[in-house]
């Protein structure tokens, strides 16, 4: 009986796991300077199937959500939000990683990635990040 309760609790937690997105790069830089964390920018747009996959599959994975606790994640819609001029997007989604000053700390990631590959990218960024 305890095992069933435990598995139901884990299932329930995984259904609601998702990153806490910041909605502006300026706010993210302030948070990053206080927390000493790198920033992850996601450039997205409505109707983007690859963005949907990232938001509804990859970002629901508890391992990814846990890894993103080490970042300041920023979600920006390319059609609605103000985008930082130093970062481009050849397509959506595009992910950029920067320090609190706005300087890039890793190569961008363009397109969707599965949980394993995205996790590897996040770990690589964390290794490259030198506060």
- Mean pLDDT across 101-106: 96
| CA dist., res. 24 & res. 102, Å (int) | 12
Q: What is the pLDDT of residues 9-60, one digit of tens each?
A: 444 444 556 789 998 999 999 999 999 999 999 999 999 999 999 999 999 9
Beta bridge partners of 42: 75, 95
- Mean pLDDT across 4-8: 46
pLDDT at residue 4 tops 70 = no
pLDDT at residue 61 tops 70 = yes
Coil, helix or strand for 93? Answer: coil
- Mean pLDDT across 91-103: 97
- Mean pLDDT across 69-84: 97
| CA dist., res. 115 & res. 20, Å (int) | 18
Tell me the average pLDDT of the chain.
90
């Amino acid at each position: 009986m305890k095992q069933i309760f435990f598995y139901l609790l884990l299932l329930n937690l995984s259904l609601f796991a998702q990153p806490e997105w910041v909605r502006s790069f300026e706010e993210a830089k302030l948070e990053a300077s206080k927390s000493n964390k790198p920033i992850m920018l996601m450039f997205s747009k409505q109707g983007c199937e690859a963005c949907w996959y990232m938001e509804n599959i990859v970002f629901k994975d508890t391992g990814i959500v846990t890894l993103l606790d080490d970042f300041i994640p920023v979600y920006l819609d390319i059609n609605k939000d103000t985008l930082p001029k130093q970062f481009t997007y050849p397509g959506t989604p595009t992910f950029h990683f920067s320090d609190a000053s706005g300087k890039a700390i890793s190569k961008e990631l363009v397109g969707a990635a599965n949980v394993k590959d995205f996790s590897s990218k996040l770990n690589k960024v964390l290794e490259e990040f030198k506060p």
